[in-house]
Structures are given as C-alpha cells and as structure tokens.
Amino acid sequence: MQLDRRSFIGLAGAFGLGAAVGVPSTLAATSGFAAMAGGSSVPFYGKYQAGITTPMQDRLYFAAFNVETEDTAQLKRVLKEWTLAAERMSRGTDAGPIGAASGMPEAPPDDTGEALDLPAARVTMTIGFGPSIFDSRFGFASRKPAGFEKLPTFARDELESEQQNADLMIQVCADDDQVAFHAIRNLIRIAKGTISPVWLQSGFSGAAKASASRHTPRNLFGFKDGTANLNVDDFTETQMHLWVDRGWMTNGTYMAVRNFRFDIETWDRSSLVEQEQVFGRTKGAGAPLSGGSEFSQPDFKAKNARGELAIAEDSHMALAHPSKHGGAKILRRAFNYSNGTDRVARIDAGLLFISYQKDLEKQFVPIQRALANNDQMNEYVTVIGSSTYACPPGLAPGEFWGHQLFA
Amino acid sequence: MQLDRRSFIGLAGAFGLGAAVGVPSTLAATSGFAAMAGGSSVPFYGKYQAGITTPMQDRLYFAAFNVETEDTAQLKRVLKEWTLAAERMSRGTDAGPIGAASGMPEAPPDDTGEALDLPAARVTMTIGFGPSIFDSRFGFASRKPAGFEKLPTFARDELESEQQNADLMIQVCADDDQVAFHAIRNLIRIAKGTISPVWLQSGFSGAAKASASRHTPRNLFGFKDGTANLNVDDFTETQMHLWVDRGWMTNGTYMAVRNFRFDIETWDRSSLVEQEQVFGRTKGAGAPLSGGSEFSQPDFKAKNARGELAIAEDSHMALAHPSKHGGAKILRRAFNYSNGTDRVARIDAGLLFISYQKDLEKQFVPIQRALANNDQMNEYVTVIGSSTYACPPGLAPGEFWGHQLFA
C-alpha cells in the first residue's frame, strides 16, 4: 500500500529531497514550494520547523504530553523514533518502514493504516518543549533558554488543569482530518509508556477553501482572523519578530497557546453594532471601523457620526495593534474548535489561539496583558488554558527532535 | 457578503431549481448531479432528503435534540424556520435573509458569519424523528409508523445516557468542517428555547480525498469501510432495501445510529493476522480472506493453509454479510470520530455508525444482533449509544420539515 501513498507525492517529494542536499533552506522549509506542489507534502527537514510559516492547513490536532520516564536514554530513544516516523508521515508514507499491512502476520503493524490511500495533505508535525522539561529530571537545566518560564497568569484566566503547560507538545496540521488524526495517533502509539498525552484538541480553520477564494479565514464569532498578521514572506519581519537569533534556539521560535472558550449563545444574541465595536472592524469586509477596506490601516483618532472614536480604545484591534506595542508583531496561527455540547447542552466551541514569536516577554505578554485587562471581547470568552513551548530550529537528516537538549 | 457565497454555486444551483420544476427526482435528489457540479451544492428539495444517497462528504455534525415546549404551534414554527434556513444554507447562502453582516445595527444578525467567503461545500442537512416524538405531547400518535420503536438492547451494549434516542436528530454533512459547524450552529441558534441539543458529535471520513483517488474510505482500525455497501445508483436495490413504500413515510427511510468507541490502544497492539481475521478481509487491499481483490465475492467455505475456514464464521464480514440475512442490505454511512483524550489519557475515538434501511426489524436488527452476539470485533469496541430515527421523504418548495406529522 506504500505505493498508493507515494504516488501522491510527486513534485513536493523532490523538494523534500532537495532540502536534504542543499536547496536554500529558506525556500525548502517554508511554504511557497509546498503550495506550488499542489498541496501534497511539506518538507520535514530544513532550517526552520514546518508548521510555523507553512500556510494554514484546514485541520489541527494539538497534543500536550508529559514524560513518564526519568530515564534520559529512553526519552532520547523515543524522540529519535518520533523523528523518523514524523519525517516518513510528512511524505505521506506509513509511520514505520514495514507499513500498516505488511510484515510478520504475528506482529502488530508499525502503522495504523487509516491514512492508506490518502495523500500527504500537507501534513506538518511541529515539536515544542515546555519549561518543565528543563527541570532536574533529564539534565537539561543548563540548556534552558534565559527567562523561559510558564506564561504569567493574566486577568480573568480560568485555567482548567488538563490544559496547563506540559513537558512538550506536538502540533499536527493537515488539509485532511483523517491524515492529521493518523499522524498524532501514531506518534502517541510510538511513545506509549514513555511520553503520554495530557490533552488533545482538534481544530479547524476553513483556511484551504477560504484561501482558494482569496479570503482571510474567520473565527467562530464570524470575524476575519489574521488580517494584520506577521508577513512570513518578509525576511526582515521574520528575523525581527519570529526567529530566535542566539544560542541553540537560533532559527527556533517560542509558541504561546491560549484556549479561548467562546460564549457562542451570548454572542449570537448580541447586536451587529456591538459585535463590530468589540472587534473594531466591520463583520463583512473586515475593514477597520475608521473606514477603508480589509487591509486599510486603522485610524485610531477618527471619530464616528456620534463624535466618538470610531475604533474604541478597548476594542480587540486597538488593544492588540502593533502601534500600541512599540511595533511588536506576533505570528498568529489560531484554529477554531468545537467539542460537542457541554453539560448544560451549550455548544462547547472556541478558539485555540496559537502564536509564534521571538521573545515572549517583549511581544506576546504585553499584548496579551492589554487584552486580558481591557478587551471588550472578554465578556464573550473564557480563557481555560495557557501554555508556552520552545520550538527548536528545523532538523537536518540524521538529527532528531530535541537533540539540542542532550548536547 | 452574500454574493461571495453565491458565486460558488454555479451549476448545482440550477439543478436545485430544476428539482423544483420537474427534473426527475431520482436524478435531482441523488448524488450524481451534485458531484458533476464540482462538489459545490447539493439540492435541498427533491423526492428524497439529501444526505442519504449523497456521496459521503468529508465531515459530519450529528445533533440529537429534545423538544422543550409542549406548544405544538411553537414546534411547528421552529420547524418551518429550520426548513427555510436549511434550504438557504444548502445553497451556500446565509441562514437568514438579512445575513451575517447586514441589517439593523441594533439587531443580532440572522446568520453567525463564520461561513461567509466559504463555498457550500456540498453541505446537506437531514432530519429524522425519534419514537418519542409520537407520544402524547403534540398529537402525533396517530402518525407513528407501525412498529417504530427504540432499538432493542443488544448484547454488550454499554449505553451512556447522553447518547440515547432523542425526539429528533439532524445530520449535517459537508466537505468543510467550518461549513458543517456553521450549519448546525445556526440551526441550534434558531431553535433556542424550543428544541435543545442533547448531544452533538462531529465526525470525519477522509472520503473526499479517498474517492478522488478511487479508494474506499477507511475506519480508525485502518480497514476499508463500505466495500459491499448498498449501491445507491441501482434503482431496484434502493427500492428494495432503502426507501419506504407505504404511508406518509413513502420515499423516506429509517436511520440506525450506533456509537462505537474503539479501544485504539489494544487494537494497535494486536497482530496483523488477528486484525485481518477480525474483519475477514486483508488490511491493505480489503480483499476477502478467501482470496481475490476488494470487490471479489467472499467464499465462506474456502479453507486456508491450516485447513481452517479462511473467513472465520465470527468475523465481522461473515456475520454481517447479506447472504447470512436473506439478502438484506443496509446503506452504511458511518463517520470516524475523535474526541481528544479520555480521563486516563487514552485516545477517545471510534466510529459513529449510521445506516439507512427500509425496515429496521427485517434488515438492521438481525444483522446487528448477529454482530453483537458473536463478532470478534466486540473485543475492541464498546457501544455507548444506540438510537433510531424516522427520516421522512424529501420536500417540495413550500413544505417544511415534519409537515407530515401535523396532517
């Protein structure tokens, strides 16, 4: 069956190989090439990890894990196995060399099989390490990046224990849900007994269909999300705001994760004008309330017909805007989620906010603090999870996830 | 923004209209036309409800509801509102005539907006009524189809209360998760206070990508699911096994829903030969263990090299095969699901089994009883939900969901 999956790979597979033999990694590791190659596979190896500047896929599985062993050698073995499996799956092949439907009949297959016949679907697997991995268990303390700690508690946080920071995380993204599930399921399987999932959240974006029609995807409040995002195609911007440039984290980045549960029912009963004032943008076009179209610069001094500020100072956009934070930008890569209904039959849905930035203290924390203190949107959301992970640089063939920690 | 959504509709919209003005309904209501139209919209009106013989979409939201009111007129009002909204959304437009981003600023919009800019994505909304709707509350008792009762309890059922039979259900399917979520969310919004969700389960199939490569989709045990399904393009077969041919349910059908939680971890540790014996098929190609390829007829008398029956009598295929049930066939339309991790950090995933059949007692119940009693697969699954719904025939313009009950 391996051939079935391989047959989808085509051009992108060649680029994956290209990255290994010296194609400039800024090209090979980022998104343009994969997109050109018909959305099939995104190279695993490269200067940067895939899944960060890769154009948003349709589906997410986010898994937070704790390490169960205190045996550093065992942890290393599993990280190596994970890396080989992730690289294989990124090419649309089985997680192991034997495959889902081959090998000794008396042995469990080394792939679970539900992605046989499916293309790679731009699947990416991105790893990050939480502050706790640098404690005394594995001898990683000296590798802890300066100042890398759990996120501070923000105003109104109502954190639920299972969504707290864990030892590490894997972000799986793909344009097909079954492919994404297959990837995280096989990684969980491989690590069984050594690294265990603490929580697992799926998400969706509508991104593939929205970008096909050249639209910015929308969150579950119905507003465009990502209009003024960091431009991953701008080298200066990514160097300034995204990629770390010192120590072993060079070409890595820091991830912030905030789980926002939306009060869908209350939002849906609020008026259009209230909704637009909360965001500071129009709902349809996504234009700033000061006028223009989606990509117009907001004018924070403009007045509306009633003589009030068109964009309220406590609107989401005004509080988060780079101009209010010394030009600080972050790369947002958030996914919508829905988890059925809660115990009182309300829709349990919201936003798994994910952002990447070079410096949490200088970029993410001040923006999030301003929002947590004053954002009009707080009336409609509850933050139930908050965590951060150090996402190392990309790998060259032969290297393994987290190898920098063992140095 | 309405224009943005409309612009995707194109050809399929014309067929929707066609159905209303007399295109033969076997063509208009079934799937071929929608598939031809580039997968954009599936006609809402027709002889049969959409979402039954429609080729499997990628995504599912299944919602079970109880009626909160005892006011029959109020129930009727909401069913009418639902019908208008469903028909609109099936064309890829907003749930209401005003739209997500228009109308009086002081009023809540009549659409929630997250599907603005997205195509119809073959969204279908299918309604069914549970046995309880025919109790004394609404005067529907005389309309209750003969013998239409809750499913019997099968061996090993471990039903959880929130997944029991409810007053009615809506099955939303689409090729985009955000479009599917938008549909069920807006239907829940419209019915608020009158008809409340009891449980809501999302699912995925990998069907769109699998059928693009001419493969049968796979379940989370990694096996093909749907190989020997009822052929919806065979008129005789659908008349014999699928569509009801008497009373107000004529051209309707009965839905059976069984929630199978998979013991993923145990399955993944079982050997390839064990897995194949459980199914009676090979894992890769999906061929019967008696030989041949995926679509070969199984030979239940063939022996393997060890002189045993190649297809064990208690394999899933042998027990469910039409030849063991007097030729009875059902239309399976099952979706995989994953709900994160459970309380002990195991993957909470499985199969939302959905089937449609003309006669539950003659078709579904005997097959399910044979499986529940003897299927080798029972070792790896737990049935946590079991329910049935009467899905009325399709509608003509001006009719509303459930109008037959009020006659």
- Give the model confidence (pLDDT) of B198-255 as tens digits: 999 999 998 888 877 788 999 999 999 988 899 999 999 999 999 999 999 999 999 9
- At position B257, the amino acid (one-letter code) is V
Residues on chain A touching B205 (C-beta within 8 angstroms): 178
Locate B189 and state its tokens: 């919004």
- At position A138, the amino acid (one-letter code) is F
* Residue B177 · residue B57 · CB < 8 Å: no
Query: Between chains, do B105 and A273 touch, taking CB under 8 Å as contact?
Result: yes
- At position A123, the amino acid (one-letter code) is V
* Residue A396 · residue A20 · CB < 8 Å: yes
Query: Between chains, do B104 and A222 touch, taking CB under 8 Å as contact?
Result: no
* Alpha-carbon distance values, A280 to A137, A310, A318, A372 (Å): 47, 8, 7, 16
The neighbouring-strand residues paired with A331 are A356
The greatest distance separating any two alpha carbons of chain A, rounded to the nearest whole angstrom, comes to: 77
Residues on chain B touching A199 (C-beta within 8 angstroms): 340-341
Query: Between chains, do A181 and B199 touch, taking CB under 8 Å as contact?
Result: no
Query: Between chains, do A8 and B213 touch, taking CB under 8 Å as contact?
Result: yes
pLDDT-derived band at B313 (thresholds 50, 70, 90) equals: very high
Which residue in A has a C-alpha nearest to residue B206's C-alpha? A178
Quick one: DSSP state of residue B281? B
For residue A82, how many C-alpha atoms fall within 13 Å in the half-sphere facing its CB? 27
pLDDT at res. B13: 35
pLDDT-derived band at B16 (thresholds 50, 70, 90) equals: very low
Mutation target among B268, B270, B282, B351 for the A interface, most CBs of A within 10 A: B268
Mutation target among B272, B279, B306 for the A interface, most CBs of A within 10 A: B272
The dihedrals phi and psi of B72, each to the nearest 5 degrees, come to: -60, -35
Distance from the Cα of residue B177 to its chain's centroid: 15
* Residue B18 · residue B117 · CB < 8 Å: no
pLDDT at res. A211: 78
Long-range pairs of A263-270 with CB within 8 A, sequence gap ≥ 24: A263/A379, A263/A380, A263/A381, A263/A382, A264/A220, A264/A346, A264/A347, A264/A349, A264/B185, A265/A346, A265/A347, A265/B189, A265/B192, A266/A379, A266/A380, A267/A221, A267/A380, A268/B108, A268/B112, A268/B189, A269/B108, A270/A380, A270/B108
SS (H, E, C) chain A: CHHHHHCCCHHHHHHHHHHHCCCCHHHHCCHHHHHHCCCCCCCCCCCCCCCCCCCCCCEEEEEEEEECCCCHHHHHHHHHHHHHHHHHHHCCCCCCCCCCCCCCCCCCCCCCCCCCCCCCCCCEEEEEECHHHHCCCCCCHHHCCCCCCCCCCCCCCCCCHHHCCCCEEEEEEECCHHHHHHHHHHHHHHCCCCEEEEEEEEEECCHHHHHHCCCCCECCCCCECCCCCCCCCCHHHHHHHCCCCCHHHCCCEEEEEEEEEECHHHHHCCCHHHHHHHHCECCCCCCECCCCCCCCCCCCCCECCCCCECCCCCCHHHHHCHHHCCCCCCEECCEEEEEEECCCCCEEEEEEEEEEECCHHHHHHHHHHHHHHHCHHHHHEEEEEEEEEEECCCCCCCCCCCHHHHC
Residues on chain B touching A220 (C-beta within 8 angstroms): 112, 114, 181, 185
State what percent of residues in chain B have pLDDT above 70. Answer: 90
pLDDT at res. A226: 86
Query: Between chains, do B283 and A59 touch, taking CB under 8 Å as contact?
Result: no
- At position B158, the amino acid (one-letter code) is E
Q: Which of A310, A325, A304, A333 is nearest to A368 (CA)?
A: A325
The neighbouring-strand residues paired with B169 are B64, B128
* Residue A331 · residue A242 · CB < 8 Å: yes
CA distance B289 to B312: 9
- Per DSSP, the three-state class of B148 is coil
pLDDT at res. B159: 94
Query: Between chains, do A338 and B181 touch, taking CB under 8 Å as contact?
Result: yes
For A352: left if phi > 0, alpha if psi spans -120 to 50, otherwise beta; the answer is beta
CA distance A288 to A285: 9
pLDDT at res. B37: 34
Pick from B105, B112, B116: CB nearest A271: B105
Residues on chain B touching A111 (C-beta within 8 angstroms): 222
* Residue B252 · residue B390 · CB < 8 Å: yes
Residues on chain A touching B215 (C-beta within 8 angstroms): 4, 117
Beta carbon pairs, A and B, within 8 Å: 231
pLDDT at res. A2: 36
Query: What is the mean predicted confidence (pLDDT) over B385-402?
Result: 98
pLDDT at res. A27: 32
Strands (E), B141-186: 168-174
Mean pLDDT, all residues of chain B: 90
Quick one: DSSP state of residue B248? G
Query: Between chains, do A213 and B119 touch, taking CB under 8 Å as contact?
Result: yes
pLDDT at res. B212: 79
Query: Between chains, do A264 and B200 touch, taking CB under 8 Å as contact?
Result: no
For residue B32, how many C-alpha atoms fall within 13 Å in the half-sphere facing its CB? 9
Query: Between chains, do B268 and A176 touch, taking CB under 8 Å as contact?
Result: no
Quick one: DSSP state of residue B30? S
pLDDT-derived band at B345 (thresholds 50, 70, 90) equals: confident
Locate A315 and state its tokens: 């609107």
Residues on chain A touching B98 (C-beta within 8 angstroms): none
pLDDT at res. A345: 83
Query: ipTM score of the complex?
Result: 0.90
Pick the more confident residue, B162 or B297: B297
Query: Between chains, do A113 and B221 touch, taking CB under 8 Å as contact?
Result: yes
Residues B25, B28, B32: CA angle, nearest 5 degrees: 130
Which residue in B has a C-alpha nearest to residue A336's C-alpha? B178
Mutation target among A116, A223, A263, A380 for the B interface, most CBs of B within 10 A: A116
- Per DSSP, the three-state class of B143 is helix
pLDDT at res. B228: 85
Beta carbons within 8 Å of A360's beta carbon, 6+ residues apart = A148, A151, A254, A256, A388
Residues on chain A touching B111 (C-beta within 8 angstroms): 222
**Smallest CA–CA separation between B241 and chain A, in Å?**
29
Q: Model pTM? A: 0.91
**Smallest CA–CA separation between B191 and chain A, in Å?**
12
* Residue A258 · residue A251 · CB < 8 Å: no
Residues on chain A touching B276 (C-beta within 8 angstroms): 105
pLDDT tens, per residue, chain A with 407 residues: 333 443 433 333 333 333 333 333 333 333 333 333 335 899 999 999 999 999 999 999 999 999 999 999 999 999 999 999 999 999 999 999 999 999 999 999 999 999 999 999 999 999 999 999 999 999 999 999 999 999 999 999 999 988 889 999 999 999 999 999 999 999 999 999 999 999 999 999 988 888 777 889 999 999 999 888 999 999 999 999 999 999 999 999 999 999 999 999 999 999 999 999 999 999 999 999 999 999 999 999 999 999 999 999 999 999 999 999 999 999 999 999 999 988 788 999 999 999 999 999 999 999 999 999 999 999 999 999 999 999 999 999 999 999 999 97
pLDDT at res. A21: 30
**Smallest CA–CA separation between B2 and chain A, in Å?**
10
Locate A378 and state its tokens: 């707080």
**Smallest CA–CA separation between B244 and chain A, in Å?**
32
Query: Between chains, do B181 and A210 touch, taking CB under 8 Å as contact?
Result: no
Quick one: DSSP state of residue B154? P
Query: Between chains, do A114 and B218 touch, taking CB under 8 Å as contact?
Result: yes
Locate B91 and state its tokens: 């064309």
